[in-house]
Amino acid sequence: MFDLSFAPGAHWLGATAITAVLCATAAQAQPAREADYALPAQELAQSLREVSLRSGTSVIAPSELVSGKQAPALKGRYDVRQAVELLLEGSGLRAKVVGDALVISRATGPAEGGSASAPQPEESETITVTGTRIRGAPIASPVIRLTGDQIRSEGQATLAEAVRTIPQNFGGGQNPGVGNNVPAASGVNVGSATAVNLRGLGSDATLTIVNGHRLSYSASRQAIDISSIPLGAVDRIEIVADGASAIYGSDAVAGVVNVILKKDYDGPLSSARLGSSTDGGHFEQRYGLAAGTRWGSGGLITTYEFGRTTAIKGEDRSYTAERSPALTLFPFLRNHSATFSGHQQLGRDLKLEVDALYNNRFSTSSYALNAAGDITQSGARFDYESESFVIAPTLRLLAVPGWNLFVTGSYGRDHTRYDVTSFFGGTAFEAFGNCYCNNAKSVEIGGDGSLFDLPAGPARVAVGAGYRTNHFERFNGVGASTNVLKDQGSYYAYGEVNLPLVAPGQALRLVDRLSLSGALRYERYPGVDEVITPKLGGIYAPTPDFALKASWGKSFRAPTLYQQYQARNVVLAFPIVFGGSGFPPGSTAPLLQGGLP
């Protein structure tokens, strides 16, 4: 594989989080901890990275702000904030303490040309930390982070390729490479989507969100198609491979995957990728375009990507060339995808954010049921076309000091239409116009902020409530007994608290940092059940360079509409099919299968 990137008149601005390798100490307490620095004049990003590592403090710096900037030499003994401020002198940037991190942002004040820019609220920065609703709060579960730049540097061109490299992600579930002979409990390929399947518990037991928003489910398995998001739009992926239903609700049994999109970009960027496997098939071409701009009170970025990959047939591989030459090992894929993300300050205390995604994908696969590999004699061909989109606006209110209040909503759909052509004895039987059609709507109101001060820092909470509904239609023809048309809604409320008990500045023996956290969520599914899910966590750091994390919690997954309402039927087969033996010749055994509310 090889990649080409062109950025006329612009420089690459993929957002990068510069963080400490081990545990990050509380930034607000850092003035009591100093370190010696002897840094040469160099790129600002490199100097910030070295300060982050030396101090043990997370320094979050979007690369569109620091790219191309130079930092002066730094020599002497400073606390982390003093060091960062010295490095930022004359750069037009500032550093602000947010939770356990220092966040680099544009400095407010007179704009170029002498006019004053719109006033900015002190708490305008929203720091997303997956696994908690409290801005910047440390969490007691391990977090796996992959930045867009890191994914590209490792030779991966799509999010689907990136998540397949994560050890906690099982390769089964909803994936285009899963064959028709794989049991549904292990994996399916409906529409050639790609879903994350943490711990192998099923793609419907891993919750995938984008900028904290839920998406519409894909096809039949209540999975989320992560391959529908262009890599050019991604700032980073954060994965918490730990039960998170107390924070996010149903589906987060195995964990949660949060795809965080870029918020700002300046100029255009085009990319191209061509590649092929050496054994035949799987010729890939992928082209992308990203463009964005920023103004004094807002900014936006939009991306588009086209991809096309030829199929891998059984005849392309030595292990299937004779046995199954017409079997599709990997389907033909063609997709168009686009994203939009923008934000606008509507006043000193009010901000509007909008995220939108669109994807259209076509795929086809086939298999033969005869040794000659002639599909027209016996076999089947599947043609899928999936179209999905989501739009999610959010209003953020910062009028209450120390609090971030929000109202957010989303509407999305994922319609996977498919045609099946079956062949028996040279006769074709066609089933056109089938559909797994999912729609989703949600609305939520909430906020987070400080309650009271503790010796180690403020006690912070997050609260919220909302409603969401899923609509599912399975269509197999007018009047078909397998048709499903159902809706399922849920009401929920949640609360979370973070208590910093010991901070580094207190200089306690064998306790550098200690914090506790707790979350509780109530969710009610009318006609199904209601559930309360808790989670407790703690972080203990005896030294600045070592931390122990522990958590306990409960998670749940509501039954899918497909599981509840798919048609029930009886399959009659020989007992050996079900593992039976020793039965009289001609015996049969019935298997009852289907949905049950």
- pLDDT tens digits, 359-397: 999 999 998 888 788 888 889 999 999 999 999 999 999
Q: Is 186 helix (H, G, I), strand (E, B) or coil?
A: coil
Indicate the helix (H) or strand (E) that contains 51: helix 44-55
Inform me whether the pLDDT recorded for 523 exceeds 50: yes
| 204 touches 223 (CB < 8 A) | yes
Q: Please give the residue that has the higher pLDDT: either 210 or 179.
A: 210
Across the range 157-161, mean pLDDT stands at: 90
Amino acid at 342: G
Inform me whether the pLDDT recorded for 12 exceeds 80: no
DSSP per-residue string spanning 141-174: S-EEEEEHHHHHHTT--SHHHHHTT-TTB-S-EE
How far is 180 from 57, CA to CA, in rounded Å?
A: 49
How far is 397 from 120, CA to CA, in rounded Å?
A: 12
Pairing mode, strands 58-61 and 101-106: parallel
Across the range 525-541, mean pLDDT stands at: 93
Q: Which residues pair with 302 in a beta bridge?
A: 291, 340
pLDDT at site 175: 87
Chain centroid offset of residue 563 CA: 25
pLDDT at site 28: 36
Q: What confidence tens digit (pLDDT) does each residue in 141-157 have?
A: 988 998 888 898 888 88
pLDDT at site 128: 63
Q: What confidence tens digit (pLDDT) does each residue in 535-579 have?
A: 999 999 998 888 999 999 999 988 889 889 988 989 899 998 888
For the chain, the average pLDDT equals 85
576's CB contacts (< 8 A; 6+ apart) are: none
How far is 193 from 196, CA to CA, in rounded Å?
A: 10
Q: Please give the residue that has the higher pLDDT: either 379 or 63.
A: 379
How far is 361 from 24, CA to CA, in rounded Å?
A: 42
Q: Which of 58-67, 272-281, 291-300 has the lowest mean pLDDT?
A: 58-67
Q: Which of 413, 440, 390, 448 is nearest to 99 (CA)?
A: 448
Which of 300-319 are b and which e, b meaning 16 or more Cβ less than 10 Å from the residue's Cβ?
bbbbbbebebbbbbbbbbee
Phi-psi region of 339 (alpha: psi -120 to 50; beta: other; left: phi over 0): beta
pLDDT at site 461: 96
| 538 touches 517 (CB < 8 A) | yes
| Other beta carbons less than 10 A from residue 443's beta carbon | 14
Give percent of the chain above pLDDT 90. Answer: 47
Q: What confidence tens digit (pLDDT) does each residue in 100-126 have?
A: 678 888 875 433 333 333 333 333 444
Q: Please give the residue that has the higher pLDDT: either 114 or 516.
A: 516
pLDDT at site 304: 97
Inform me whether the pLDDT recorded for 32 exceeds 80: no
CA angle, residues 39, 40, 44, in degrees to nearest 5 = 85
Q: Which of 62-76, 207-221, 243-257 has the lowest mean pLDDT?
A: 62-76
Alpha helices in 218-287 (DSSP H): 245-248
Across the range 34-48, mean pLDDT stands at: 86
Q: Which of 4-13, 209-218, 474-483, 581-590 has the lowest mean pLDDT?
A: 4-13
Q: For residue 10, name the pLDDT band (cuts at 50, 70, 90).
A: very low
Across the range 270-296, mean pLDDT stands at: 92
Give percent of the chain above pLDDT 70. Answer: 90
Q: For residue 202, name the pLDDT band (cuts at 50, 70, 90).
A: confident
Q: HSE of 164 in the Cβ direction (CA atoms, 13 Å)?
A: 17
Q: Which residues pair with 92 in a beta bridge?
A: none
